[in-house]
């Protein structure tokens, strides 16, 4: 009976794995069509200068307008894009779209801020990354520094020489580089400090726990000091409460991003925010001065 039970279990697991694999394959096929049909759109979330409260930047975040399932969040499809290699093409389009939107806002006299685009590890393995960045930049007014990039530690650990070389060239274009989700990766600090980057972006998981747990508060404090000692700027992501904002300001963290200041918005809505000169939370929260 023991052996039979085992067999059944194995059978069960195999079927499960089959299903998972089948789901991924069908999603890949769907994503391929979505790329061709142009179903991806950029949303933009404000980044705030914590000292002045003014708009300091925005992050482009991709969404999938699925014909049947509506608007899908990146957690539902970015991992499949990464596994299938499609992220290279989608990421290139997100960057190009960001600079076209920046250009349209600029031409409308709206003073758009610098826009950060996420660059996936696979894009670093693709020969066209630097050219893609240069092309996108030339769509906008390159001298107004319209673009920055965000990379995760996982991009930085493999083929270090090559990645460092690309980052150096990107920074020569005056496109700042941020390490995203800082603190969640496994790369060594010794290695991270030698990287050609400009900004550390503290992961949301630290910010969430910071005001509840002294250990996390200590870690955030340590990350900010580390960054400042290395002459890097710090952005905290996922700020949802005034209390979190207050502590981050005390620590001299330069910028903040989170629902407290604004959720990711469709390009049109973000343009309206720029036009109003201020962004107000849905409830009667603080206003964001866009400097317009």
How near is the Cβ of 23 to Mg ion at its closest, in Å?
25
Q: Which is nearer to ligand C2E, 176 or 264 (CB)?
A: 264
Instruction: Give the CA angle between residues 248, 249, 254 to the nearest 5°.
Output: 90
Long-range contacts of 215-223 (CB under 8 A, 24+ apart): 217/247, 219/183, 220/247, 220/248, 220/251, 221/251, 223/182, 223/183
Q: Which is nearer to ligand C2E, 68 or 75 (CB)?
A: 75
Tokens (6 digits) for 111: 């003073």
Residue 88 binds which of ligand C2E, Mg ion, none (CB < 5-8 A, kind-dependent): none
Distances from the Cα of 92 to the Cα of 99, 124, 236, 241, angstroms: 11, 11, 25, 34
Residue 264 binds which of Mg ion, ligand C2E, none (CB < 5-8 A, kind-dependent): ligand C2E
CA 77, CA 87: separation in Å to the nearest integer? 10
Residue 279 binds which of Mg ion, ligand C2E, none (CB < 5-8 A, kind-dependent): none
Residue 139 binds which of ligand C2E, Mg ion, none (CB < 5-8 A, kind-dependent): none
Scored b (16 or more CB within 10 A) or e, 228-243 reads beeebbbbbbbbeeee
How near is the Cβ of 16 to ligand C2E at its closest, in Å?
26
Residues at the contact surface with ligand C2E, assessed by CB under 6 A:
45, 61-62, 73-75, 78, 87, 91, 94, 118, 120, 150, 180-181, 204, 237-240, 257-259, 264
How near is the Cβ of 210 to ligand C2E at its closest, in Å?
13
Residue 74 binds which of Mg ion, ligand C2E, none (CB < 5-8 A, kind-dependent): ligand C2E
Residue 278: half-sphere exposure toward Cβ, Cα within 13 Å: 7
How near is the Cβ of 177 to Mg ion at its closest, in Å?
12
């Amino acid at each position: 009976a023991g052996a039979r039970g085992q067999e059944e279990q194995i059978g069960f697991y195999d079927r499960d794995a089959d299903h998972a694999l089948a789901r991924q394959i069908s999603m890949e096929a769907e994503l391929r069509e979505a790329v061709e049909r142009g179903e991806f759109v950029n949303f933009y979330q404000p980044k705030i200068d914590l000292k002045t409260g003014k708009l300091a930047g925005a992050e482009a975040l991709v969404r999938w307008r699925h014909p049947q399932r509506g608007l899908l969040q990146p957690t539902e499809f970015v991992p499949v894009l990464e596994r299938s290699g499609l992220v290279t093409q989608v990421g290139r389009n997100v960057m190009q779209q960001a600079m076209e939107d920046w250009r349209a806002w600029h031409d409308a006299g709206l003073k758009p801020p610098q826009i950060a685009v996420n660059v996936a590890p696979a894009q670093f393995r693709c020969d066209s990354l630097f050219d893609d960045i240069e092309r996108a930049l030339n769509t906008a007014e390159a001298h107004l520094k319209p673009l920055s990039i965000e990379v995760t530690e996982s991009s930085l650990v493999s083929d270090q020489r090559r990645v460092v070389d690309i980052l150096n060239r990107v920074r020569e274009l005056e496109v700042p580089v941020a390490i995203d989700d800082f603190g969640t990766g496994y790369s060594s600090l010794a290695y991270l400090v030698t990287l050609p980057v400009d900004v550390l972006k503290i992961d949301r998981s630290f910010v969430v726990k910071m005001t509840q747990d002294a250990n996390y508060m200590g870690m955030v404090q340590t990350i900010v000091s580390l960054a400042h000692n290395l002459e890097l700027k710090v952005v905290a992501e996922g700020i949802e409460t005034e209390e979190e904002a207050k502590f981050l300001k005390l620590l001299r963290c330069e910028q903040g991003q989170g629902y407290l200041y604004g959720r990711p918005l469709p390009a049109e809505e973000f343009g309206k925010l720029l036009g109003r000169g201020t962004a107000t939370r849905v409830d009667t929260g603080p206003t964001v001065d866009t400097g317009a």
